[in-house]
Amino acid sequence: MISRYDFGHPYDTGAVVQQLPVSGDPVPHFTVRQHGAQVIFTAPLGDDDMIFGLGQAVRGLNKRGHRYRAWNSDDFSHTEDKASLYGSHNLLLFSGETGVFGAFFDDPGAVAFDLGYTRGDEAVITSENGDLTVYIIEGESLTDLVRQFRQLIGKPYLPPRWGLGYIQSRWGYATADDLREVVAGHREKHIPLDTVSMDIDYMADFRDFTWDTAKFPDLPGLTAEFAADHIRVMPIMDAGVKVQPGDATYDEGIDKGYFCRKADGEVFVGAVWPGKAVFPDFLREEVRQWFAACYRPLLEAGVEAIWNDMNEPAIFYSVEGLQAAYDKADSMRGTNIGVYDYFALKDAFTGMSNSMADYRRFYHVIDGQPVNHEKVHNLYGAMMTKATAQGMRAVRPGKRPLLFSRASFIGAHRDGGIWQGDNNAWWSHILLNLRELASLNMVGFLFNGADIGGFGCNTTEDLVLRWLQLGAFTPIMRNHAAMGTRDQEIYRFAKWEQMRDVLTVRYALIPYLYSELVKAAETDGMMFRPLAFDYPQDEMACRTEDQLMLGDGCMIAPVYEQNARGRHVYLPEDMLLVRFRSAEDFDCVPMTAGHHWIELALHEFPLFIRRGHILPLAKAAEYVAGIDASALTLLGWVDTNAALTLYEDDGESEVIDLSAGLTEIRVTVADGNATAKAAGKALDATRIILN
Ligand code: GLC
């Protein structure tokens, strides 16, 4: 059951799809007080209470013990002290002494979450502006809370099936030939690949909706050439439009008054990659329609995928901010500055980026009225993505676009996926990747993944290999790195064969992963779950932070420490360990519930299948369309009949009919033998272990 409570003058953020009546009762579970404009919600915490949620955020699955802030931020280090990342997903799920309940703070402005940080025995949530709707969810279990919440916010975006293929990306591929080299690097060594991305270097002077015709003289020809090789291209799009009279997007946006303005009516100018840029007011429907239409030339040139970036929005500096820093420097020039002056001078420059002063400087128009950006900041990226989805659907009606964004808000999960942003080539970021995977499932962003190998810092061969071993399961599987860092395409490493072998497992799993993704989306479920969701009575499982349940029948537990040759795994029940080296080379070891040390050489990685469940492996290929999903090998440890339903469809139609696409795979055990059938046809069941 979900109840709704309004405070101040809530904005329609578009997060929810169900219109619930406003309750006149006091908010359950919380005491509520007003402090100036702020509305503050306080809930007591028992010693062992757990708090899940918040989607994209640093630290544990259990968010208790620190503080977070809903404020979409361009952050490039994701260290433990960071309160904000790129998305705001204001859902908390409480589980413990006081029962199980959820709270969603539908507020497009800043919200502070003090989850047992200031005082260990209370959670304090502060809405800075006080204009919000709070939804309280009562349920039987964490899984039940998520199911109800997801019904409230509507079904998630689903990618085309080829969107689950491997994506190779790098900031620095500048020309058509650079991309050809990347494609050839994979194809020559038979490394699976479906998509290559084009970072900002493809644009002419970093201008949105352009491509540099010297570097890409024939984009339609290039996309056709790649299509023949089953490769798609995925260009980036930035939120800020370069200030350049003569540029079509800039001129039209200025003429029509589509860019955000300051209080004095002047268009707000902030610098991003193109230098000075202006920011479309994506919160207006007519602006979204205009921006959506701007994608058409790229899409007509054969582009089928887009990633949206810098849409928090990131602002390196504004004209005003830069001037203030210069003024500070001028005021100190020639004086003998003390150490505090020195820090102030330094801060004047480093503090220019993504500053609150700038976010307060400009306005949107909502219902004909100017609204300061600060009040609705967290909606900006979501509304850009809404426009992009609209633009892509208009060009290919009825087909699912491949789309993901950096900034997000709940509601945007219906339009696209998100990637986890600018992580680093750090081992700890494999673990962060894992945890965000589950937390993002709670809030509807099922299609997510992190930059494999790490975006910032120089990577290492073993890190790429271990990270791919987690990436093999994540819906977005993209290797991406920052300009200036060490190359990290698979084919460049000495151990490329072992990396390729990980991809064979990925591709063999795609029919299963796709099926689990669609089923989770359509049934308000989670493809990835903390163990606490499946084994709430098992204290050890509830505290497990480095393993996740995958689908109905599996559990993942990646190695995330350098030089480790194995890891500790907790099994809440009997499971079959599948120790993969490739899609064809793996061993299956039945393991009883409890604690285990699992030996895993650098090229080995585990997948656990719950006893009584089965997992289908298809025949892998070098691109998704080539996968043979009729040639299945079933893995499992069963003592009696077992079954699995696999969802299949054409992989691209917008309309999903879950019941029409389900095939039953059935394992029958009789006289000490297992036989398997899928849709009535006999299958090879050689890897079924009977007991
Ligand atoms: C941002 C993006 C990153 C991209 C870079 C250049 O940092 O998060 O993925 O490579 O900008 O466009």
| Distance from Cα 239 to the centre of ligand 1, integer Å | 12
For residue 200, the ligand 1 atom closest to its alpha carbon is 12
Can you tell me the distance from the alpha carbon of 550 to that of 537, in angstroms, rounded to the nearest whole number? 19
Q: Are 425 and 456 in contact (CB under 8 A)?
A: yes
- Ligand 1 atom having least distance to the Cα of 482: 10
| Tokens of residue 535, six digits | 């084994």
pLDDT at residue 97, as a whole number: 86
Closest CA to 468 of 436, 496, 447, 439: 496
CA of 463 to the centre of ligand 1 (A): 21
- So what's the pLDDT on residue 64? 98
Query: Is the fold of 2-153 the same as that of 514-690?
Result: yes
Mean pLDDT to the nearest integer, 225-239: 98
Ligand 1 close to Cβ of residue 309 (< 6 A): yes
Q: Is the pLDDT of residue 519 over 80?
A: yes
What proportion of the chain, given as a percentage, has pLDDT over 90? 96
For ligand 1, say whether the CB of 92 is within 6 Å of any of its atoms. Answer: no
Q: What is the mean pLDDT of residues 364-382?
A: 97
Residue pLDDT, tens place only, 532-582: 999 999 999 999 999 999 999 999 999 999 999 999 999 999 999 999 999
Rounded distance from Cα 224 to ligand 1 centre (Å): 26
Ligand 1: which atom is nearest the Cα of residue 170? 10
**Strand stretches in 600-654, DSSP E:** 605-610, 614-619, 628-638, 642-647
| CATH match of 514-690 with 2.60.40.4040 | yes
Per-residue confidence (pLDDT) for residue 686, from 0 to 100: 62
Binned at pLDDT 50, 70 and 90, residue 690 comes out as confident
Candidate from 310, 311, 451, 485 with most ligand 1 atoms within 8 A of CB, to mutate: 310
pLDDT-derived band at 680, boundaries 50, 70, 90:
confident
Q: Are 478 and 167 in contact (CB under 8 A)?
A: yes
Q: Nearest C-alpha to atom 5 of ligand 1 is from which residue?
A: 171
* Sheet hosting strand 50-53, strand order edge to edge: 2-7, 132-138, 99-106, 91-96, 50-53
Across the range 198-205, mean pLDDT stands at 98
Cα(445) to centroid of ligand 1, in Å? Answer: 20
The answer to whether 618 and 597 are in contact (CB under 8 A) is no
Across the range 355-367, mean pLDDT stands at 97
Domain ranges of the chain: 2-153, 161-239+273-313+378-509, 514-690
Residue whose Cα lies nearest atom 3 of ligand 1: it is 422
Asked if CATH classification 2.60.40.1760 holds for the domain at 2-153, the reply, yes or no, is yes
Query: Is the pLDDT at 332 greater than 80, yes or no?
Result: yes
3-state SS class at 153: helix
The alpha carbon of 278 and the centre of ligand 1 are apart by a number of angstroms equal to: 18
For residue 199, give the ligand 1 atom closest to its CA.
Answer: 12
Q: Give the pLDDT band (50/70/90) at residue 685.
A: low
Residue 138 has pLDDT above 70, yes or no: yes
Shortest-distance atom of ligand 1 to CA 238 = 12
DSSP string across 456-501: BS---HHHHHHHHHHHTTSSSEEE---TTSPP--GGGSTTHHHHHH
Q: Tell me the average pLDDT across 12-18.
A: 98
Across 614-634, average pLDDT: 93
Query: How much is the pLDDT for 275?
Result: 98
- SS3 for 256-305 is HCCECEECCCCECCEEECCEEEECECCCCHHHHHHHHHHCHHHHHCCCCE
The residue whose CA is least distant from atom 12 of ligand 1 is 200
pLDDT tens digits, 38-73: 999 999 999 999 999 999 999 999 999 999 999 999
Ligand 1 centroid – CA 237 distance (Å): 10
Residue 313: cis peptide before it, omega within 30 degrees of 0: yes
pLDDT band (50, 70, 90) for residue 603: very high
Cβ 236 under 6 angstroms from ligand 1: yes
Find the 479 Cα to ligand 1 centroid distance in Å: 13
CATH number of 161-239+273-313+378-509: 3.20.20.80
Q: Answer whether 312 contacts ligand 1 (Cβ < 6 A).
A: no
Q: Does 631 have pLDDT greater than 90?
A: no
